[in-house]
């Protein structure tokens, strides 16, 4: 986690003698160690591969099928159960949905939205939470307690209600979904970052920076935030699946993304409502993508945490 260690560069020795010593004992930076530990974690590595495949699927999936996600096949509509089965022969790999649309391209589209919500939500949380927590932790005193009291209050508001209220009042749209999720996602992050900042604040290199007259916000930007990156990275990977879960929850209720756009939650919801008709592929394909991706994100988060936890060293 320490920037000081990773900038220690064995490739640029000061003197020849030092250079020889360096060559013997190769420096192990924390990041190199962490990378090694992460690569040895089989579950995490497998999850990385799976996630890359799912990302490729989201980006390039629509090149694999001649059908788009909106065209309705009128021949299938009404007898999806018999005509709409998944088949490689007619290139409807995942079959049809209940309105006679190609499920494969719907799943591609839903994957795009779900991943986007997860990543953007986590990104907002990282940006806002890091800045907020670092400022509160570093400045301290009254500012800190006021800022953290605000977080306490915001966190104890049951945010699912607020999210649904926002979506109902300002219309159900993907933008509103981002706003609603972004409003609350950063709160946890800011607490974690603040705690970490408090412990970094008392280190000697911060004292040195203060003594040499570096302005406060430069200290936060140049010295505090880079040292927070480890914690933030771990927590951000664990946030992505949470964001996806929230979005799926909302879309499952039908309050999230609207037709013709879709997401995993909305697709699962459709699958559930048609379960009784025996068209189970409508449930299983989105469910499979959802479960596998959430699993993968959790494993990567756990792997990162284990890898970056210096206690293990």
Integer CA distances (angstroms), 11 to 6, 21, 151, 297, in order: 12, 12, 45, 35
**Closest CB 249 distance from other proteins, rounded Å:** 6
Q: One symbol per residue from 194 to 233: x for binding other proteins (CB under 8 A), - otherwise; what is it?
A: ----------------------------------------
| Segment 109 to 168, residues that bind other proteins, using CB under 8 A | 149, 152-153, 156-158, 160-162, 164-168
Q: Which of 19, 56, 280, 310 binds other proteins (CB under 8 A)?
A: 280
**Nearest residue (CB) to other proteins, 5 versus 50:** 50
Cα pseudo-dihedral 285, 288, 289, 294, rounded to 10: 160
Question: What is d(CA 280, CA 91) in angstroms, rounded to the nearest whole number?
Answer: 18
Residue 272 contacts other proteins per CB under 8 A? yes
User: Which stretches of 157-263 are DSSP H helices?
Assistant: 159-169, 174-201, 204-211, 216-219, 225-252
Residue with tokens 């756990």: 302
Are residues 302 and 294 in contact, defined by beta-carbon separation less than 8 angstroms? Answer: no
Which two structure tokens, joined as six digits, stand for 121?
């939500």
Cβ closer to other proteins: 23 or 275?
275
| DSSP one-letter code for 96 | B
Q: Identify whether the C-beta of residue 72 lies closer than 8 Å to the C-beta of residue 100.
A: yes
Answer whether 39's CB lies under 8 Å from 45's CB.
yes
Site for other proteins in 165-184 (CB under 8 A): 165-171
- The DSSP output letter for 310 is G
* Subset of 46-105 contacting other proteins (CB under 8 A): none
Provide the minimum distance between the beta carbon of 188 and other proteins in the complex, in angstroms, as a whole number.
11
Q: Are 37 and 312 in contact (CB under 8 A)?
A: yes
Burial 57-94 (b: 16+ CB within 10 A, else e): bbeebbeebebebeeebeebeeebeebbebeeeeebbb
Rounded to whole angstroms, the Cα distance separating 276 from 15 reads 76
Least Å from the CB of residue 34 to other proteins:
22
Q: Which residue number, 124 or 166, has a Cβ lying nearer to other proteins?
A: 166
Of 93-101, 183-191, 216-224, 269-277, the window that binds other proteins (rule: CB under 8 A) is 269-277
Output the smallest distance, CB 245 to other proteins, in A: 6
Tell which one of 51, 219, 283, 308 touches other proteins (CB under 8 A): 283
Binding mask 233-252 for other proteins (x = CB under 8 A): ------------x--xx--x
Cβ atoms within 10 Å of 210's Cβ, excluding its own: 14
CB of 44 to other proteins, least distance (A): 13
Rounded least distance, CB 23 to other proteins, Å: 42
Restricting to residues 285-304, which ones interact with other proteins according to CB under 8 A?
A: 287, 290-291, 294-295, 298
Q: Supply the minimum distance, in Å, between the C-beta of residue 199 and other proteins.
A: 20
Report the nearest approach of other proteins to the CB of residue 272 (Å). Answer: 4
Q: List interacting residues with other proteins (CB under 8 A).
A: 149, 152-153, 156-158, 160-162, 164-171, 245, 248-249, 252-255, 265, 268-269, 271-272, 275-276, 280, 283, 287, 290-291, 294-295, 298
């Amino acid at each position: 986690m320490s920037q000081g260690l990773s900038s220690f560069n064995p490739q640029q020795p000061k003197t020849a003698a030092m250079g020889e010593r360096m060559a013997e004992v190769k420096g192990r930076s924390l990041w190199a160690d962490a990378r090694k530990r992460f690569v040895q974690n089989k579950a995490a590595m497998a999850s990385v591969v799976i996630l890359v495949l799912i990302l490729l699927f989201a980006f390039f999936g629509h090149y694999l099928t001649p059908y788009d996600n909106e065209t309705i096949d009128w021949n299938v509509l009404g007898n999806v159960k018999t005509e709409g089965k998944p088949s490689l022969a007619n290139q409807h790999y995942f079959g049809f949905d209940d309105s006679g649309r190609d499920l494969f391209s719907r799943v591609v589209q839903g994957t795009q939205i779900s991943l986007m919500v997860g990543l953007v939500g986590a990104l907002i949380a990282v940006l806002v939470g890091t800045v907020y927590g670092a400022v509160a932790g570093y400045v301290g005193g009254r500012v800190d307690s006021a800022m953290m009291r605000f977080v306490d209050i915001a966190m104890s508001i049951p945010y699912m209600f607020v999210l649904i209220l926002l979506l109902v009042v300002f219309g159900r749209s993907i933008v509103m979904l981002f706003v609603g999720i972004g409003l609350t996602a950063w709160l946890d992050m800011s607490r974690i970052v603040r705690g970490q900042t408090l412990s970094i604040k008392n280190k000697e290199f911060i004292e040195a920076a203060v003594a040499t007259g570096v302005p406060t916000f430069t200290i936060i930007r140049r010295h505090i935030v880079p040292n927070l990156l480890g914690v933030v990275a771990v927590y951000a990977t664990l946030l992505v699946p949470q964001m996806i879960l929230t979005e799926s929850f909302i879309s499952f209720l039908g309050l999230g993304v609207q037709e013709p756009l879709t997401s995993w939650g909305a697709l699962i919801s459709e699958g559930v409502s048609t379960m009784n008709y025996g068209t189970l592929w409508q449930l299983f394909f989105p469910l499979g993508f959802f479960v596998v991706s959430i699993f993968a994100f959790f494993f990567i988060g756990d792997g990162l945490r284990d890898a970056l936890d210096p206690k293990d060293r």
